[in-house]
């Protein structure tokens, strides 16, 4: 049965990998980051060391994880739909709810209150965690008191 045993084959692969990789310390990474990133993007694996010990690896992005933006989940898209409904309803709400906060669910107004916290608590209890949007209708924006800061 000629050939290498499984352990010998694995050792050979590890040795080849160690010989082929590039190791740089943190200082060198800071000095040559653009060049090292370019090399990594073209397929080279670069090991980042600190005090002579490997700590991280710089390499190309795998195809499966190439997407930078996470997929939008259903709850976020539902919130965006409620926000769009609020903006669509806003012109009609100007007369009735000016200066108040309005809650929107399923594309319609389900509550209004001058206190956004009270409105949120009431709607949260009513909808039991389902998605809704609260927005302010016209008027001057509220004044926010910030203790410790004074304008002279």
Q: In sequence order, what E strands does 51-132 have? A: 53-58, 101-105, 108-113
Per-residue pLDDT of the chain (152 residues; tens, 9 = 90+): 455 566 565 555 444 444 445 788 888 888 888 888 888 888 788 888 888 888 888 888 876 454 555 556 788 889 899 999 999 998 899 888 888 999 999 999 999 999 999 999 999 999 988 899 999 998 666 666 667 656 65
Where do the CATH 3.40.1620 domains begin and end in the chain?
7-60
In terms of Cβ atoms closer than 10 Å to its own Cβ (0-12, 13-18, 19+), residue 101 is buried
Using CA atoms, how far apart are residues 87 and 94, in angstroms rounded to an integer?
11
Nearest-angstrom CA–CA distance, 47 and 26: 10
Distance CA 20, CA 128 (A): 57
Pick the CATH number of 7-60 from 3.40.1620, 3.30.70, 1.10.3470, 3.40.720: 3.40.1620
The pTM of this model reads 0.48
Two tokens, residue 40: 């990594």
Q: What is the per-residue pLDDT for 57? A: 84
Q: What is the pLDDT of residue 70?
A: 58
Quick one: pLDDT at residue 86?
92
């Amino acid at each position: 049965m000629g050939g290498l045993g499984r352990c010998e084959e694995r050792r050979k692969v590890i040795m080849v990998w160690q010989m082929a990789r590039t190791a740089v310390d943190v200082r060198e990474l800071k000095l040559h980051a653009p060049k090292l990133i370019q090399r990594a993007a073209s397929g080279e694996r670069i090991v980042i060391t600190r005090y002579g010990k490997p700590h991280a690896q710089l390499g190309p992005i795998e195809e499966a994880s190439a997407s930078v933006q996470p997929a939008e989940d259903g709850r976020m898209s539902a919130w965006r739909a409620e926000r769009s409904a609020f903006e669509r309803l806003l012109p009609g709400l100007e007369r009735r709810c000016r200066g108040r906060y309005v809650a929107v669910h399923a594309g319609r107004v389900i509550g209004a209150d001058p206190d956004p916290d009270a409105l949120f608590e009431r709607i949260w209890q009513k909808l039991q965690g389902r998605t809704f949007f609260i927005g302010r209708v016209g008027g001057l924006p509220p004044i926010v008191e910030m203790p410790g800061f004074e304008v002279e």
